[in-house]
Amino acid sequence: MSYSCGTTVVVTLLLLVVASSLSLTANANSFESLLQLPRRQSRSTRPRSERLLHVGKFGAKGNGFTDDTKAFADAWKTACSSKVKTRILVPENYTCLLRPIDLSGPCKARLTLQISGTIIAPNDPDAWEGLSRRKWLYFHGLSRLTVEGGGTVNGMGQEWWTRSCKRNHSNPCRGAPTAITFHKCKNMRVENLNVIDSQQMHIAFTSCRRVAISGLKVIAPATSPNTDGIHISVSRGIVIDNTTVSTGDDCVSIVKNSSQISISNIICGPGHGISIGSLGKSESWEEVRDITVDTAFISDTANGVRIKTWQVISSYQSSSLRSADEENLTCLLTLLTREGVVWSQKLSLGTSR
C-alpha cells in the first residue's frame, strides 16, 4: 500500500526521529552548530605546494575502452603517500574505464580527486567475477578527502538491471554494486558531480562522520531497480545541500544508528522520496535521530518523507510545512509501522521560516 504524490510538493520541514525507547534530548536547531564540517578552501588560500597528478601521466588512456584501473591505482598510491596536499586530475576530455577498485587510506595529506571528465564502469557484470559484487569505487579509511570536478561517474548499470530479480522474476536475487562507497571516512566533501546509472545504489556512506555533500546530480531511469540515490548508514554529521536525485528509488535513505543528517535544497523524484529505515527489523535495536529536511522539492514519488520502523517511534516533530498542493500534504510524512500498515499523518500548515 502506498500513496502517490503526483504533484510537486515543496517541503520545509524539520523532522526529528528517534525510533527507539530513548527519549529525545537534542534540540534540532542546535545540532548544526555542533557539526564541524570540513571547510571549503578558497582558491586564494590554496597553498602553492599542492601537487597535481594528471592520470594520463600514470598511463591512463582516457578513451573509454582501455582499462585505466592500474593507472588510477598508481596515481592514488602516489597521491596517498605524498606529504603535501595532492590533487588527482581526470581531465575533461578523459573517459576512464575502471574495474572495481579500492581507494584506501590513511593518506599522509589532504587529497582531492578532481573528476572533470568521466569515469565509467565495465558494462559486463562478469568483470566482477571473483570480486565483491557490492563494490565498484570503494573509498575507505580516509580523512580530509574531497571529490569534485563537475564530471560524471557512470555505473553503466543496464546489464545489472536486466539481470535483477525485480526486473525479471526468474532471475536469482543477488546484490549489485554500489557505484561509490565511502566507508569509515571523515571530514570529507563530495561536490559538483554527476553520478548516473549505477548498478544498484549510487552513493553510500557507511560509518562516516562529518561529510558535506553539495551540487550533486544523481540520475538513473525511473525503472532502474533499487538504485537509491544517497544511502547513509551508521554515520553522523552528514549535510546534503543543493542536490538533485532522480533514480526511481529512495532519493536519500537513512538507516542504522545514523544521526545529525541535514538535507536542504533537494530536488527529489521520480522515486520513493526520502526514507528513514527500515529500523529494527528482526528485533535489532537501532536509532536514527536529528534529521532535518529543509526545502525539498519532491515530485512524482510514492512518499514524501517516510519512516519505516518495527520499533516504537518516540518522537518526531514537523514544522513550517508548505505544499504546492495542500490536499496532498498527507503524502509528506508516511509512517510504516510494525503491522506494515501505512499510517499517514495529516500535517497542518505552518508559516514558512
Catalytic (active-site) positions: 272
| Interacting span for ligand NAG (CB under 6 A) from 10-18, 222-230, 246-254, 282-290 | 282-290
Contact status: 264 vs ligand NAG (CB under 6 A): no
Among 187, 192, 303, 323, binds ligand NAG (CB under 6 A): 192
Give least dist CB 117 to ligand NAG, A. 8
Place of cell 538513473: 220
Amino acid at 227: T
Contact status: 159 vs ligand NAG (CB under 6 A): no
Binding flags for ligand NAG, 305-344, as an x/- string (CB under 6 A)? --------------------x-xx----------------
Peptide bond into 177 cis (omega under 30): no
- Residue nearest to ligand NAG according to CB distances in the complex: 6
Place of cell 536529528: 290
| Residue list 228-247, contact with ligand NAG (CB under 6 A) | 234, 242
Give least dist CB 84 to ligand NAG, A. 26
- Rg, the chain, Cα only: 20
Which residues, including other chains, have CB under 8 Å from residue 77's CB and lie 6 or more apart?
none
**DSSP reduced 3-state for 180:** strand
Give whichever of 54 and 99 is closer to ligand NAG, judged by the CB atom: 54
Give least dist CB 73 to ligand NAG, A. 19
| Residue list 7-36, contact with ligand NAG (CB under 6 A) | 7
Q: What is the DSSP letter of 58?
A: G
Number of residues that bind ligand NAG (CB under 6 A): 23
Q: What is the DSSP letter of 161?
A: H
Tell me the three-class secondary structure of 186-254, residue by residue: EEEEEEEEEEECCCCCCEEEECCEEEEEEEEEEECCCCCCCCCCEEEECCEEEEEEEEEEECCCEEEEE
Residues of the shown chain interacting with ligand NAG in the complex, contacts defined by CB under 6 A: 4, 6-7, 62-63, 93-94, 168, 170-171, 192, 215, 217, 234, 242, 256-257, 284-286, 325, 327-328
